[in-house]
Chain A
Amino acid sequence: MSKNIKLMQGNEAIAEGAVIAGCDFFAGYPITPSSEVSEFLSSRLPKMGKAFLQMEDEIAAMGAILGAALGGAKAITATSGPGMSLKQENIGYASMCEIPCVIVNVMRGGPSTGLPTLPAQGDVMQAKWGTHGDHAIIAITPSSVNESLYETIRAFNLAIKYRTPVVILTDEIIGHMREKVVIPDKSEVEVIDVKLPDVPPEKYNPYNYTSGKVTPLAPMGEGYRYHVTGLIHGETGFPSQKTDVIQNAQNWLIDKIYKNIKDIEKFEEFQTDDADILIVAYGSTSRSARQAISMARAAGIKVGMFRPITIWPFPEEQISNLSKKIKKVLVVEMNMGQVILEVQRAACGSKIYGLHIVNGEPITPDNIFAKIKEVSEN
Chain B
Amino acid sequence: MSDRIEFRFSGSGGQGLILAGIILADAAAIYENKNAVQTQSYGPEARGGSSKSEVIISDDPIEYPKATKVNYMVSLTQEAFNKYINDVKDDGIVIVDKELVTDFSKAKGKLYVLDMVKSAREELGKLLGLNIISLGVLVEISGIVSHDSIEKALMKRVPKGFEDYNKKALEIGFRLAKEVKKN
Chain A residues at the B interface, C-beta cutoff of 8 Å: 5-7, 32, 116-118, 173, 176-180, 284, 287-288, 290-291, 294, 362, 364-366
Contact = CB atoms under 8 A, between A and B. Distances in A.
Given A5-B30, A7-B30, A116-B44, A365 B39 contact: no
Interface of B: 1, 22, 25-26, 29-30, 35-44, 62-66, 68
Interface of A is mostly: mixed
Nearest to B55: A178
B147 to A, nearest CB: 19
B64 A364 contact: yes
15 contacts: A7-B22, A7-B36, A32-B44, A117-B44, A173-B39, A173-B65, A173-B66, A177-B37, A178-B38, A284-B65, A287-B63, A287-B65, A291-B63, A294-B63, A365-B68
A352 to B, nearest CB: 24
A74 to B, nearest CB: 30
Nearest to B34: A180
A111 B162 CA distance: 43
B39 A176 contact: yes
Contacts of A32: 44
Contacts of A7: 22, 25-26, 29-30, 36, 38
A180 B30 contact: yes
Contacts of B25: 7, 178
Contact of A6 (B30, B35, B40, B41): B30
A180 B35 contact: yes
A178 B64 contact: no
Contacts of A364: 64, 66, 68
Contact of A366 (B26, B36, B37, B68): B68
A287 B66 CA distance: 10
A10 to B, nearest CB: 10
In the A-B complex, the 5 residue pairs with the closest CB atoms: A291-B63, A178-B38, A180-B29, A290-B63, A7-B26
Contacts of A290: 63
